[in-house]
Each structure stands twice: as structure tokens, then as C-alpha cells.
Amino acid sequence: MPKPVDGAAADAAASDLTGSGTAPGEPVLSKEPPTAFLEVRDLRVHFPTQDGLVKSVDGLSFTLEKGKTLGIVGESGSGKSVTSLGIMGLHTVGQYGRQRPHLSGEIWLNGQELLTADPDSVRKLRGREISMIFQDPLSALHPFFTVGHQIVEAYRVHHAVDKKTARKRAIELLDRVGIPEPRKRIDSYPHEFSGGMRQRAMIAMALVNNPELLIADEPTTALDVTVQAQILDLIRDLQKEFGSAVIIITHDLGVVAELSDDILVMYGGRCVEYGAAEQVFYEPQHPYTWGLLGSMPRIDRDRTDRLIPVKGSPPSLINVPEGCAFNPRCPYADVPKGGITRTTRPELTEVKPGHLSACHMAQEDRERIWNEEIAPKL
């Protein structure tokens, strides 16, 4: 469960990051040893630009246990993929020009803190203990090398084996993820695969070293619905087989409904709601989550019913609104908040056991609006 972050302290921390990646006045992190397999504490990833500091992730905390799946959802630009790259240790100088992005907080994996670990240690973990399925397999796979070559390379980096042994392992994985004729297709190039087959090859590469944590970033993007269903079934089956913890990153609530045990809703680089999948889908406690649910097509809806879009656009992460980042788009911004000003940042608070929300509205008002206005329309 995420640990609530003090809003005022978080804003102070975000206001003046230095080149060292630390923030004057940032919240003091818990010194308690992690108890979960994966524990992210107050993660911040900020990018210096000519226009200002882009606060892509701004105080994110969550935990994940082995064998469980966490779905991270939100619109494009909410910080989902930046979070995953932070966990993987893939924010480097070369990606963003001369200035290194500022990372602060803590990322604990199996008792080891990753943000302060030396690069060689993280490199040994990446691909073996932590692996990632990237959202665009056509660009993630190198066009000049065969699919088999790339899977073999990923395996040999972490195992002292010859090419023949590694090739046998690659064929096993290609067969396991449903690639037909794996002994033949191992020598194919990425452009010779269909979109669904490329995604299966990416899954094979991600799982070749039996990772304990698998991050799937938009694993069904640009795939037709039949192939999407096959990929989701494959991820679920492989998770059971390998016992991995899984993070699914998507904007598609249908995907997280299919796979996730817990759901984390991100907006403007922050967590606005977190809870078990059943809680978030059937008793959501944040207006942004209501908007996501209202804009989701459902098979049991009348065909003449219109979807309910979230009005407006996501905020600029350089000039995030003071207080609640969703306030300018919130249809309930004028509901009395008990004297709380709009410039006060809402804290993640537990509204029910294991269910957290960052909203200034009183819980009674949220439940009334959900039951009387939102739920009947869904």
C-alpha cells in the first residue's frame, strides 16, 4: 500500500531540485527496512529543460508483492512510463541531452535499494531480476539482428553459457510464448514478424532469465482485440508459471480489469487513487477515476448511450496547478471542501482499508455523488 506523502513538504521538495538529484527540504524518507518485495517511496523524476523543470513523477509511493499484479493507469503524460524507466534504472544522460534527470526517493527490490546502488549492480539486476516489455516492439527490437540473436544475447549477458545452450533456451521461450515453428522463426528478423508475434518475441526476451519483477508497458498497444486477448492470457499464464510480480502500465481500464490485483491511478505525475481492483472499479473515490470509468466503452451499455469524456486536457508538467492537479478539469471543484483552499495539495488518505484517495472532498460527498450521479450512468 502506498505511504501518504505530506503535501506541503512535497511541494517544497519539488520547487528547487539541484543538479545532484536531491531536493532541499524534501520529505524525510522512512528509515524502516522494506517489508514488501518491491517498495517505491516518494519517487520523483524531474527533467530540466529550457522552459523549466518537468515534474514527470512527483512523489509516488507504492508496494508490490511477488505473484501479484499492479496496474498503473492514467492518460498519456501522467508519468506511468517514466515511473517504469525509473525502476529499471534507464534514465540516463544520453537520452535527454546534456543534463541528467533528477531522481530522488527510494526504490527497494528484494531488500536492495536501487537509486543509490552503483550502476554495475543495477546493470546485473536489469534483465535478470527486473525485466520489461516495451510498448512498441518494432522499435524496441533491433532491425539489423534476428529475433533469436537478441534473445540469445539477453540470456548470455547473465549466464556463462555457450551460444548453443543459449539458442536452445531461446527456442524454448519462443515456443512457450506461442511462436509457431520456433526452430525456424528464431532466425527471422523483426520486420518478418506480425505485430502480435513481435510482442510475443518481446515477452520471450523479457522472461528468458526468469525475472522476479516484470514490467509491461502498454503491452497491447496497436494490436487488434483478438491478439490483445491472447497476449493478456499469455502474460497471466506466464506469471503463474514463473511466479513473478508484474506491473501493467496502460491507459486501458479493460486491460487492468483483466489482470490486476491492485490499481494505482496516476494524474499529473502523482497518485490520485490506489486500491484493490474491486475497490477502484466498484467504489472509486476520486473524480478523475470516475472520468476514466465514464469514458470506457462497455459491452453491457445501450448502443445509443454516449461515452462521458473527461473534459479539458492534462496539465503541463512544468506548470502543474497548485493544490490538486485535477482541479481545473474537475466537475466537482466547487463542492465545499470544509475551508480547504485550492492551493492546498491533497494528501493520499485511507478512506477504507487498503483504499487511498487524494481528494479534498469529504468522503460522504464523494460517496453521494458516486451513488446518485455517476454509478447510474455507467
Domains of the chain: 38-129+211-298+305-377 (3.40.50.300), 137-210 (no CATH)
SS3 state of residue 346: coil
Q: Over range 294-305, report the average pLDDT.
A: 77
Q: Over range 308-326, report the average pLDDT.
A: 91
Q: Are 87 and 215 in contact (CB under 8 A)?
A: yes
Judging by DSSP bridges, how do beta strands 245-250 and 270-276 pair with one another? unpaired
Instruction: Please list, in sequence order, all residues whose beta carbon lies within 8 angstroms of the beta carbon of residue 332, skipping any fewer than 6 positions away.
Output: 287, 361, 365, 369
Residue-by-residue DSSP string for 247-307: EEEES-HHHHHHH-SEEEEEETTEEEEEEEHHHHHHS--SHHHHHHHHTS--TTS-TTPPP
Which tops the pLDDT comparison, 90 or 31?
90
Of 10-19, 86-95, 110-119, 275-284, minimum mean pLDDT range: 10-19
**Kind and range of the H or E run holding 213:** strand 213-217
Confidence (pLDDT) at 85: 92
Question: Grid coordinates representing 222?
Answer: 496497436
**Kind and range of the H or E run holding 214:** strand 213-217
> Which segments within 27-176 are labelled E, that is strand?
38-49, 52-64, 69-73, 102-109, 112-113, 130-133
- Flag whether pLDDT at 30 surpasses 90: no
Confidence (pLDDT) at 97: 56
Of 7-11, 45-49, 227-231, 325-329, minimum mean pLDDT range: 7-11
Q: CA-to-CA distance for 57 and 101, rounded, in angstroms?
A: 11
**Kind and range of the H or E run holding 351:** strand 349-352
Q: 360 to each of 174, 327, 333, how far by Cα in Å?
A: 50, 10, 9
- Flag whether pLDDT at 204 surpasses 90: yes
Confidence (pLDDT) at 307: 79
- Flag whether pLDDT at 227 surpasses 80: yes
Q: Are 76 and 251 in contact (CB under 8 A)?
A: yes
Which tops the pLDDT comparison, 262 or 305?
262
In the block, cell 506480425 appears at: 194
Q: 221 to each of 87, 143, 195, 259, how far by Cα in Å?
A: 21, 19, 10, 16
Which tops the pLDDT comparison, 306 or 180?
180
Q: What is the pLDDT of residues 181-194, one digit of tens each?
A: 999 999 999 999 99
Q: Over range 145-161, report the average pLDDT.
A: 96
How many of the other CB atoms lie within 10 Å of CB of 199? 30
Question: Would the CA dihedral through 270, 83, 221, 319 be positive or negative?
Answer: positive
**How high does pLDDT run on average in the chain?**
86
**High-pLDDT (> 90) share of the chain, %:** 61
Q: What is the pLDDT of residues 99-137, one digit of tens each?
A: 778 899 999 999 999 999 988 899 899 999 999 998 888
- Flag whether pLDDT at 10 surpasses 50: no
- Flag whether pLDDT at 314 surpasses 90: yes
- Flag whether pLDDT at 36 surpasses 80: yes
> Which segments within 65-134 are labelled E, that is strand?
69-73, 102-109, 112-113, 130-133
In the block, cell 496539465 appears at: 315
Question: Grid coordinates representing 13?
Answer: 521538495
Judging by DSSP bridges, how do beta strands 52-64 and 112-113 pair with one another? unpaired
Nearest to 34, CA basis, from 123, 114, 90 = 114
- Flag whether pLDDT at 278 surpasses 90: yes
